[in-house]
Chains A and B, each alone.
Chain A
C-alpha cells in the first residue's frame, strides 16, 4: 500500500576533547528507486568541509567530507519526504556476493545446528499450510520461518553487542539489537541458498535508526524485519544496504586527536 513518509534523522557525535583532520563518509541519503521515490531531502552537516557525493559498489549514495579545523562535536541531520510503494518494484538480478558469507555473517557450528533444527522441524510445514515441510517452501516462506525462529531465539538487549559483533557471537548469547537479529537472519537465509542483504533505515515512529533484512526471490527483493517478526513494508524507509553492517554504516569517520566519542540519535517518521 502506497504511503507518503516524512522523515527526520538527526545524529550528534560528541567528542570528549577537540579533534582535527576529521574525514568522514555518510551513507544516510536514501537512494531514489521506483518503490521508494525521494520527493525531497536536505542534509545538513556541521561542521562541514569540502563535500562530495558518489555511489559505492552496493549502490548507496555516499557523501564524503573533511573537516580540518578543531571541533568537539559533529552533527548531521537528514529530513525529507518519500513515497513508498512496493508494488512498483522493478525486477533485478541479485549480485552474486549476496549469496556468500561476508565478514559479519560467517557460518558457525552453532548456527549450523540451529539451521538444521529449523529445517527438520515438521511443524513448520503445518504452520505455513505447506505440505512437504521446509524444503518445499519458496524462498520467502523459508525466510519467514527463519525470521520467526530468530525472533524467538533472541531477547532484545541493548548494550550486549557492538557494531563489530558477528552473527555467530550474537547468536550464542541470544542477546542483541536489530543489527544482530538482521545478521543472524541473513546468515540463515544464505544457508538456505537465497541471496540476502542488510538494510539500515528508519521506520514509522520515533526513536533510533533501525536495521532489517532483505531476501531476493524471482527478481524482487523482499524486506523482512526479524526484530519485530514482520514484513518490512511501506512503513520502512531504506537508507543503505550491504552484505552486512560493515559494508554500510550510516556514518564512519576518522580524526586526529585523543577523544572519547558519544553518540545521540533521534529519528522520526510519520505517514
Chain B
C-alpha cells in the first residue's frame, strides 16, 4: 500500500492529463476543476459486498417494474401504495412517455445508487440516480493508473477486478439494441462529464456522437459517416430528457436530435436510460421504494432507506416540524446536493421560515434523520485525516441485473460537511471489493 500512496501526485497528474474533471455551475458561471483523487481505497469485504449486491439488484429490479407500471397500467397507484400526486407532480414524470414500451422493457439501464455506511455498520440508501448518473469512469481510470504505479499492491491485496465496466456496458447496450450500432450521445465537450462520455465510448466500443452526427428519418436513428449513414440500434444518451428532442420536449434545445422520440416510440431504437425514468428517482418517490420492493417482488427490502418523513402525511409533518433542528430537509425538485438544508445549521428564525415553507408546500419536501456515517481516512498533505464519504454503486440492467464490483467513493473536503456530492466540491477514491 505504501508504494501506492507514494504515487498520489503522479496519479493525480495523470488524471489531469486525461482530463478527469468536474464542471460546476456556481452563481451562473461554469467552472471546471480537477476532481482530486485520494489513493487510500475504500475497502469493502467480499462478504459485506454480497449483501450489498443482492440488495441493489433487488432495488433496481423493483424500480424498473415501477417505471413500467407508471407508464402503463399504474397498478401501484390504483392500489393506493403510492399516492397519485407524488407521481404526477414529480418533475421526472413525463406525460410524453405514456404508453411507450422500451426495448426489452428496460427503463433504467445504468443506475447510480448512492449509499452510506453508518457507524452501526449498516448500509443506507441515500438516493437513486436513474436518469444519467455519472462517475463510473473515475474509479475505472484510477484503478488502471494505480495498478500501473504499484502493481505489487494488487498482488498483496486480493481486489475484485473492476476493469470489466466497458464490457458490462457493451453487453447492456447489445441486449436492448434493436439492430444497428451502439452510440454514446453527448451534449458535447463543454459538458461537465465529457471526459466520461469519451472514455466510456472507448471502453465499450461504442461511437461517440453529438447531435450533429445523428438524425432521424422514417422513424429510424442514423449516424452520419463520410459514406452512407449507419443505423443506430442503441443510444446511450448523456443528454437530459428535456433537451433530447426539440420536437417533443424543450423546443429551443440545440443539443437534441429532432424526432428521436418518434423513432424510440416506434421501437426502432433503444434509448438508454429511457426517457421519463426520472419519475422513480424523485426524492419524494424515494420514500416509497421499500414499499415497491414489497409490492412488485413480494420481498422485504434488503437495503434500508435513511429514516425518512413525508410532510405530506400529517403524522410525518408534525414530526418534521417538531424535530426540524436535527433533521435534514431536502427539496424534492433540486438535485446535485442543492436544496439540502441541515436543521441544526439554521438560526431560530431560519427554522421558523423553513417550517412555514414546509407547511405551505408539504409535497415539496422530505425530511430525513441525519445518519451518523462512518468516516474514511484520506491523505491531506501527507497526513491521514478522517472525512465523511458516500458510495455510488453502479447497477447495470441488461439480460440480468448486475452490480459493478467497484464504485465511486466520494468524500467531502470540509471536515464538518456531510455533503459529498461532487458538484459541491470534494474528491474521490477507488472502491475495492476485497476477497478474504
Contact = CB atoms under 8 A, between A and B. Distances in A.
B300 interface: no
B216 A247 contact: no
Contacts of B259: 23, 25, 64, 66
A15 interface: no
Interface string B97-117: 111100000000000000000
Given A24-B247, A64-B219, A96 B89 contact: no
B307 interface: no
A49 interface: yes
Interface string B258-274: 11001001100000000
B215 A252 contact: no
Interface range on chain B: under 10, 10 to 19, 20 to 34, or 35 or more? 20 to 34
A143 B85 CA distance: 22
Interface string B59-103: 000000000000000100100000011011100010111111000
Contacts of B337: none
B262 A54 contact: yes
A97 B88 contact: yes
Contacts of A21: 215
B246 A254 contact: yes
Interface range on chain A: under 10, 10 to 19, 20 to 34, or 35 or more? 20 to 34
B266 A54 contact: yes
B98 A97 contact: yes
Contact of B218 (A24, A50, A243): A50
A238 B163 CA distance: 56
A114 interface: no
A96 B215 contact: no
Contact of A96 (B84, B97, B216, B266): B84
B88 A99 contact: yes
A243 B95 contact: yes
A100 B216 contact: no
Given A52-B219, A54-B265, A253 B97 contact: no
Contacts of A95: 95, 98
A62 B97 contact: no
B225 to A, nearest CB: 16
A229 B265 CA distance: 38
B215 A57 contact: no
Interface string A48-64: 01111010111000101
Contacts of B84: 96
Contact of A102 (B77, B95, B215, B251): B95
A21 B262 CA distance: 17
B217 interface: yes
B95 A97 contact: yes
A57 B247 contact: no
B282 to A, nearest CB: 14
Interface-centre pick from B74, B84, B258 (highest chain A CB count, 10 A): B258
Contacts of B87: 96
A66 B96 contact: no
A124 to B, nearest CB: 28
Contacts of B97: 57
Interface in A58-104: 58, 62, 64, 66, 95-97, 99-102
A101 B91 CA distance: 11
Contacts of A25: 247-248, 258-259, 262
Given A97-B88, A100-B89, A23 B218 contact: no
Given A54-B219, A66-B216, A252-B247, 18 more contacts: A21-B215, A23-B216, A24-B247, A25-B247, A25-B259, A25-B262, A50-B218, A51-B218, A57-B99, A62-B262, A64-B216, A66-B258, A66-B259, A95-B98, A96-B77, A97-B98, A99-B88, A252-B246
Interface of A: 21, 23-25, 49-52, 54, 56-58, 62, 64, 66, 95-97, 99-102, 243, 247, 252-254
22 contacts: A23-B258, A25-B248, A50-B217, A52-B219, A54-B265, A54-B266, A56-B96, A57-B96, A57-B98, A57-B99, A64-B259, A66-B215, A66-B258, A66-B259, A96-B87, A97-B88, A100-B88, A100-B89, A101-B89, A247-B96, A252-B246, A253-B247
